[in-house]
Amino acid sequence: MASNYTENFTVEKCKTSKINDVDFDDLKFGSVFSDHMLVCDYKNGTWEAPKITPYQPITLEPSSKIFHYGQSIFEGMKAYKDDNGSVFLFRPTDNCKRLNISAKRLAMPELPEAYFIDGLKALLELEKDWIPTAEGSALYIRPFMFATGQGFHASPADSYKFIIACAPSGAYFSGQVKVLIEEQYSRSANGGVGFAKAGGNYAGQFYPTQLAKDKGYQQVIWTDDNTHDYIEEAGAMNIFVRINDTLLTVPTSDRILDGITRKSILSIAEAEGIKTEVRKIKVSELIEASENGSLKELFGAGTAAVVSPISGFGFKGQDYELPKLENTYGALLKKRITDIQTNKVDDPYGWRVKVC
């Protein structure tokens, strides 16, 4: 762990591990947590040295600004084991860069890359037994930062806490997802924080999503804030559309997250000879393609599921079904990515990072 803070880096191990109490054959996503976490505090204008402690509750004053002004950001990552027990990360530097992009937008201090990368590696070396090995499983990693500075005045906090916590998770399978194209609510707006992984972005999604669930759908396809004529994201995931043999996705913007899985899919699709287009996609184009039979696939892309197929969508009171294909782009691209992540194939892109 070569970094400029190792001499001050402290590790406090838990007295008794919880690992023997965990049923690794029945892991629900994000509900069981490993023994340790990494903690790093920002005070007096500088980041203190990170430390690893037992996983434990956080104590905060009621006046902490996280409760009042919502300065909170996070990332989502996974750690994988190969057949030899080696531990790998997938594009961790991209997560660190995106965390700092989010921090800057929310007037929060940027975290040194060494603290993020080397701290995470140290944590994983300690928690490697928590990484499940069943097909499709992984150790989900949640780096997050929030305001701990106190005061009721509406201004950025003067102190913050960065934490990395881990949750072993089984294979993520969302089933056949049916989505509703949103006509009223928006996930984000031009000039806003939609491109950041800010907690408030997700809180704002819950109510419209619940309305969709009440109508029999599992998720929402978000549309633009101005006209609602263009599709933008699928729930908390980037969206991909296959029309005939072309794979489409929308460009990133102030409103749309620059997804790491999204970028990986585009690179792999190109290598596989799949024609791709990054452009705006009208709702009317989606409807027309469904009606004339050229719409072949819809899927979301993100860390948790990698690829989440969409079986159908609703719009203006009418439902549209996707064809059932044996060989899909979504399944192919998911396999290509997961094979790289789990060291089953060579990584020509340099995305896979060995931890130990």
- The fraction of the chain above a pLDDT of 90, given in percent, is 94
159 and 187 share one domain: no
The packing angle between helices 260-271 and 329-341, to 10°, is 110
pLDDT at residue number 1: 36
190 and 158 share one domain: no
Measured CA to CA, the distance from residue 297 to residue 293 in angstroms comes to 11
148 and 221 share one domain: no
**Spatial CA neighbour of 87 closest among 302, 334, 261, 343:** 343
Inter-residue contact 205 to 236 (CB < 8 Å): yes
**Spatial CA neighbour of 288 closest among 224, 243, 249:** 243
pLDDT digits (tens, 9 = 90+) for 290-309: 999 999 999 999 999 999 99
Residue 234, pLDDT > 70, answer yes
Measured CA to CA, the distance from residue 222 to residue 260 in angstroms comes to 19
32 and 134 share one domain: yes
pTM of the model: 0.95
Residue 203, pLDDT > 80, answer yes
pLDDT digits (tens, 9 = 90+) for 312-355: 999 999 999 999 999 999 999 999 999 999 999 999 999 999 99
Structural domain range at position 212:
177-340
- CB-hemisphere CA count at 13 Å for 252? 13
Measured CA to CA, the distance from residue 18 to residue 348 in angstroms comes to 38
Tell me the mean pLDDT in the region 198-216: 96
pLDDT at residue number 164: 98
pLDDT at residue number 51: 96
- CB-hemisphere CA count at 13 Å for 268? 22
Identify whether 155 is part of a domain: yes
pLDDT digits (tens, 9 = 90+) for 21-74: 999 999 989 999 999 999 999 999 999 999 999 999 999 999 999 999 999 999
121 and 46 share one domain: yes
- Average pLDDT of the chain is 95
Identify whether 348 is part of a domain: no
Identify whether 345 is part of a domain: no
pLDDT at residue number 2: 39
pLDDT digits (tens, 9 = 90+) for 243-284: 999 999 999 999 999 999 999 999 999 999 999 999 999 999
φ/ψ (deg, to 5) at 215:
-95, 0
21 and 158 share one domain: yes
Measured CA to CA, the distance from residue 128 to residue 36 in angstroms comes to 11
Residue 6, pLDDT > 70, answer no
193 and 333 share one domain: yes
Inter-residue contact 267 to 306 (CB < 8 Å): no
Q: Model confidence at 3, in pLDDT bands (50, 70, 90)?
A: very low
159 and 204 share one domain: no
Residue 126, pLDDT > 60, answer yes
pLDDT digits (tens, 9 = 90+) for 8-36: 689 999 999 999 999 999 998 999 999 99
Identify whether 103 is part of a domain: yes
Sequence-ordered list of residues with C-beta below 8 angstroms from that of 298, at least 6 positions apart, any chain: 179, 234, 239, 240, 241, 242, 309, 310, 313, 322
Q: Model confidence at 137, in pLDDT bands (50, 70, 90)?
A: very high
pLDDT at residue number 102: 98
pLDDT at residue number 8: 67
The CATH number that applies at residue 295 is 3.20.10.10
Length of the chain: 356
pLDDT at residue number 173: 64
Give the total number of structural domains in the chain.
2
